[in-house]
Amino acid sequence: MSDEPKQPTDVLAILKAWLKEHGYDGLCEPTIECGCGVDELPGCCSGWILQYCQPAYLREVKPGEWRYMTPDWEPGKEEEWDE
């Protein structure tokens, strides 16, 4: 018997473990502004839509407004905060 921790064997558990291992907070589908946290998966992600999801971080896109966004996300002009 090995003393190593048991590895996940179902796809959802493997996906959750990979996201956590790499520091992601969840998944998002940026073209339709859909996102969910690792512990919420599969959440709204069901059927065909899951194939378009990307690893995401939970980011504050406006004061008090949080969304799951891809690592390359930067605020656009319409999303810039008033200072």
Model pLDDT for residues 24-72, shown as the tens digit of each residue: 999 998 888 788 899 888 766 666 667 788 999 999 888 898 999 998 8
**Residue range 8-26, pLDDT digits in tens:** 678 888 989 999 999 999 9
CA distance 55 to 75: 18
Whose structure tokens read 């790499």? 22
Q: Which residues contact 58 (CB under 8 A, 6 or more apart)?
A: 25, 26, 37, 66, 67, 68, 69
Task: Return the number of other C-beta atoms located less than 10 Å from residue 45's C-beta.
Answer: 20
> Do residues 68 and 40 lie in contact, with contact meaning Cβ atoms separated by under 8 Å?
no
